[in-house]
Amino acid sequence: MPKATIDDVAELAGVSIKTVSRVFNREPNVRESTRDKVQRAISELNYQPNKAAQNLAGHRSRLIVLIYDDPSAYEIPSAGFIIRMQEGALRACRTANYELLIHPCRYRIKDVAKEMKALIEQVRPDGIVLAAPLSNVRKIVTAIEETDTPLVRVSPGKTNGKLFSVATNDREVCAEMTRFLASLGHKKIAFIMGHPEHKAVGNRFLGYKDGLEQSGLSFSEDLVASGDNSILSGEACAATLLKRKDRPTAIFAANDDMAAGVIRVADRLNIEVPGQLSVAGCDDIALAQQIYPALTTINQPLAAMADQAVMLLIDSARKSRTTQETAVVPATLKVRESTGPAPKD
């Protein structure tokens, strides 16, 4: 059986194709009885509109493209990141009856801009979700903007600029984590900063400081170390911090890998976690649950962010693009086993 077209439906229902189109697209000004007739014809023929035709005639594709960094998506540790994003984006697409195209992108190659434009002009998506870290690569953002396609950038850290974007309350939640540690009685809470290139880094550090202040603790340079986001660097930082005679009773690392490094070092130095040392991380990667003790960390609501991003895109298509805004999806503390009351001395 050849697939039914709008003409078939129109004929069967005894109306014009335009009326069928109206019914299918829930347009107003169709009499109830006509609507019924058409509905029956539609379901009888099992009619499904051809997207290509809709797209061509209607200038909208019901397609969202999710663009993310290519090689990093396939490295096991970050696979979770992109899967979560996809999960959220797909959820929003599904409810709005959109489809999702995924497009990994190597931003280091010269022709990214050209590649992006080609992609966009070919498929004409109704919107684009640009995942971190690409969300801060200027030439990509610019290329997309030049095509006039609605764009939402998703990034756990704050995105600079005034475009649509969705972010988390990184700073606030890091303050919350710090307060949480303080509330357990910790007075000497150390912080391990991450790779300075990461956008998120600054905010997390600021959040840490906020948290100290809010808890009535004073900030000390001596309790801050700088890593590069790797487990190894976490170990190095921990070694430094823990060797001090007046050592911290809690260490808050700007990401989970470094926190894992801290736990390793504590184990080596025979410092009990969480008995003698509380450790907290950030990101809630898979590893966080797999290590012992399971890591207290901050859950990144990646799926929710992507979901939000797609919804923004779809809404902005309906209404005219409103004021430029950035949505914030709150991250939450995941308290597990690596934190506990401060040791009494």
CA distance 105 to 294: 34
Residue 118 Cβ vs DNA, minimum distance, rounded to whole Å: 12
Query: How many CB atoms lie under 10 A from the CB of residue 188?
Result: 17
Quick note: the x/- pattern for a copy of itself over 175-214, rule CB under 8 A, is ----------------------------------------
User: Which of 292, 297, 310, 195 shows the shortest CA–CA distance to 256?
Assistant: 297
d(CA 243, CA 234): 14
**In angstroms, what is the minimal distance from the CB of 122 to DNA?**
9
**Residues 24 to 43: which contact DNA by CB under 7 A?**
24-25, 28-31, 33-34
Q: Does 7 bind DNA (CB under 7 A)?
A: yes
From CA 163, how far away is CA 333, in angstroms rounded? Answer: 28
Residue 220 binding DNA, by CB under 7 A: no
Query: Which of the listed partners (DNA, a copy of itself, none) does 19 bind, with a CB threshold of 5 to 8 Å by partner kind?
Result: DNA
Residue 84 binding: pick among DNA, a copy of itself, none (C-beta 5-8 Å cut-off by kind): a copy of itself
In 24-76, DSSP assigns E strands to 63-69
Beta pairing, strands 189-193 & 151-154: unpaired
| Interacting span for a copy of itself (CB under 8 A) from 50-58, 182-190, 239-247, 312-320 | 50-58
Binding of a copy of itself by 3 (CB under 8 A)? yes
Token couple for 266: 């504590």
Is residue 117 near a copy of itself by the rule CB under 8 A? Answer: yes
3-state secondary structure of 306: helix
Q: Segment near a copy of itself (CB under 8 A), from 84-92, 178-186, 304-312, 328-336?
A: 84-92
Nearer to DNA, 60 or 114 (CB): 60
- CA dist 230 and 287 (Å) reads 13
Asked whether position 53 contacts DNA by CB under 7 A, the answer is yes
Beta bridge partners of 104: 68
Name the residue among 62, 78, 95 with its Cα closest to residue 307: 95
Round to whole Å and give the CA distance between 308 and 89. 8
Please state, in angstroms and rounded to a whole number, the distance separating the CA atoms of residues 24 and 19: 9
**Number of chain residues interacting with DNA (CB under 7 A):** 31
Exactly one of 12, 41, 42, 49 binds DNA (CB under 7 A); which one? 49
Task: Provide Rg for the chain, Cα atoms.
Answer: 26
Residues that bind DNA (CB under 7 A): 3, 5-7, 14-19, 21-22, 24-25, 28-31, 33-34, 47-50, 53-54, 56-60
Residues that bind a copy of itself (CB under 8 A): 3, 46, 48-53, 55-56, 61, 73-74, 76, 79-80, 82-84, 86-87, 90, 99-104, 117-119, 121-124, 286, 290
